[in-house]
Amino acid sequence: MRSQNRPAEIKALAGARSIPPLILVLFHFCEGHGYRGAAWFDQPVGHGYLWVEFFFALSGFILIHVYGDRAWQFWRGKAYRPFLEARLARLYPLQLFTLLSMLYLMVMLNWLADLGHYTSIYHQPWHPINTWPSFVANLFLVQAWNLFPWLTWNGASWFVSVEFLLCLLFPIYVLLSRGGPWRGLAMLGAGLAGLTFMAETSQHGLDITFHNGIFRGMAGFATGVGLAMLFRAAKAAGADRLPEWVHSAGQAGLLAFFLWATYRTGWSHSPRDMWTVLALDGLIFTLAFDRGFLARAFSSRVPMKLGEWSYAIYMGQTFWLQLVRYFEQRHYPSNDTMILGLRFGDVMWWLEPFLLVLVCTVWGALLAIYIEHPVNKFLRRMFAQRKANRA
C-alpha cells in the first residue's frame, strides 16, 4: 500500500526501536532466574515490561503518521484490505516461524527427557502451558484475546496477537485522528486514563499480557494516535524549524525524567509505572522531529540496524530463554565448580544474561535477514499481483 505521498521514515524512531527488545530479553530472563542484586541493573530491567507501552504507542504514532490522511478511504473500503495485507505480511511470517520453532523445541526436549529418564522443562509446573487449542489460537493470532489463563508457546507473541486486533480496529482510530490538537489531547488523555486505571487495579502495574492485554494495547495505541495528532499540529505550527538546541533540551529533559522514573519511583509492578509511561511517550514525541542530540544518536548506523532487527529479536527470544533452562538442567556444571579460580555460579551470574542478549541479537538478525524481510517482500508482491490480476 505504498504511495508517492507516503511520509518519509522518521529515522530517530526507527533507531529507538533498538532498545526495547534488548531490555525485554533481560527482563524475561531475570523474571525467571532472579535479579542480580545491583540497583543500576535491576531497576531498568525490572521496569522492562513497560517498553511494550513504547511499542504500542510507537505503533499508533507511526500508523497514523503514514495512513492518517486516508481515513475516509478506510471507511469506503479502498484502503482497509491493502492495509491488513501489508500488516499481516509484516507480522505473520515470524509469528508462524517462531510458533513452529517452539513446537520443534518442545518435541525435541521432551524426547530427550524420555530417553534420559528425567523430567522435561515442559513438564515443570512453572512452565507456560502448551496445548493444541492454544496452538490453533496462535495460528490465527487470537491467543491473547482473553481466551487462555496463561501464556502459551511463544509467550512473547501475545504482543503480536494484540497488534493484530489493533490492526482490525484501525479504521476507528484513523477516523478519530481526523482533528486538531484538542482532539489529539483528548485521545492522549483517554489512552493515559485507560493505562492508569489498569495500573491501579491489576495488582501488578502494567505487566498485563494474556489477561486484558488487549485493553492495555488499545489504550497504549490510543496514546500513540494522540501523539501523532499533536505532532502533526506542531509541525504545521513550525515546531520542526526550531533551533537544534531546543530539540536537544527537550530530549535531555525527558531523558532525565525517564531516569528519575526508572530509579526513583520504587520497584516495578505498581501504579507508579505510569511515570515511566509518561517519559516514554514524551520521548516518542520529541524524537519524531528527527532533530536534537538523542535523535541523532538513534539515527546512527548501529541503532538503525538493531531497530531493523528489533521485531525479530523480540519474537526469537523465547526459543533461547527456554533452551537456557534445558542447558541449566542438563549441561551446566554445579555452581561450585572452579573455573580459572572462580566459581562457575559466580561467573555465570553476570555472564549469562549478557550472553543471552548477544545470542538473541544474532538470532534476531538471522531471522530478520532470512525469514522476516524476504517473506514480507514475497507476500507484498503476491498481494500486489493478485490486485493487478483482479483489475
Q: pLDDT tens digits for 361-374?
A: 999 999 999 999 99
Q: Which three cell numbers stand for residue 188?
A: 492522549
Instruction: Supply φ then ψ for residue 100, to 5 degrees.
Output: -65, -35
- The amino acid occupying position 15 is G
Contact 128, 210 (CB under 8 A): no
Closest-CA residue to 152 (of 211, 89, 201):
211
**Greatest distance between any 2 Cα atoms in the chain:** 72
Length of the chain (residues): 391
Can you tell me the mean pLDDT for 203-216? Answer: 93
Model confidence band, residue 3 (pLDDT cutoffs 50, 70, 90) = very low
Question: What pLDDT score does 2 carry?
Answer: 44
Question: What pLDDT score does 343 carry?
Answer: 87
- The better pLDDT of the pair 73, 172 is held by 172
pLDDT at position 98 over 70: yes
Q: Mean pLDDT across the chain, nearest whole number?
A: 92
Query: What distances in angstroms separate CA 341 from CA 37, 200, 235, 352, one per listed residue?
Result: 23, 49, 60, 18
- The better pLDDT of the pair 221, 332 is held by 221
- The amino acid occupying position 230 is L
Model confidence band, residue 344 (pLDDT cutoffs 50, 70, 90) = confident
**DSSP category for residue 143:** T
Q: Quick one: what percent of the chain has pLDDT higher than 90? A: 75
Q: How far apart are CA 341 and CA 343, in angstroms?
A: 7
- The better pLDDT of the pair 374, 32 is held by 374
**DSSP category for residue 154:** S
Question: What pLDDT score does 347 carry?
Answer: 86
Question: What pLDDT score does 159 carry?
Answer: 96
Question: What pLDDT score does 138 carry?
Answer: 96
Question: What pLDDT score does 76 carry?
Answer: 81
Contact 248, 294 (CB under 8 A): yes
Question: What pLDDT score does 341 carry?
Answer: 81
- The amino acid occupying position 124 is Q
- The better pLDDT of the pair 308, 76 is held by 308
Closest-CA residue to 122 (of 135, 132, 111, 133):
111
**DSSP category for residue 48:** G
pLDDT at position 73 over 50: yes
Contact 150, 311 (CB under 8 A): no
Closest-CA residue to 50 (of 290, 258, 212):
258
Closest-CA residue to 61 (of 12, 105, 115):
12
**DSSP category for residue 239:** G
Can you tell me the mean pLDDT for 101-124? Answer: 92
Question: What pLDDT score does 128 carry?
Answer: 66
Contact 80, 56 (CB under 8 A): no
Q: Say what the alpha-carbon torsion angle 110, 113, 119, 123 is, to the nearest 10 degrees.
A: 0
* Pick from 242-246, 255-259, 271-275, 336-340: least confident: 336-340
Helices 158-176 and 51-67: crossing angle in degrees, nearest 10, is 40
Can you tell me the mean pLDDT for 131-140? Answer: 94
Question: What pLDDT score does 219 carry?
Answer: 97
Closest-CA residue to 153 (of 208, 98, 211):
98
Question: What pLDDT score does 188 carry?
Answer: 96
Can you tell me the mean pLDDT for 263-282? Answer: 93
CA atoms within 13 A on the CB side of 307: 19
Closest-CA residue to 219 (of 155, 169, 147):
169
Q: Which three cell numbers stand for residue 281?
A: 511517550
Closest-CA residue to 46 (of 154, 193, 204):
204
Can you tell me the mean pLDDT for 13-37? Answer: 93
First to last CA, the chain: 15
Query: What distances in angstroms separate CA 220 from CA 60, 72, 118, 266, 295, one per listed residue?
Result: 8, 24, 43, 22, 22
Question: What pLDDT score does 179 carry?
Answer: 85
Can you tell me the mean pLDDT for 351-378? Answer: 96
Which residues have CB under 8 Å from 77's CB, separation 6+? none
Question: What pLDDT score does 126 carry?
Answer: 66
pLDDT at position 1 over 50: no
Can you tell me the mean pLDDT for 184-208? Answer: 95
Question: What pLDDT score does 129 carry?
Answer: 79
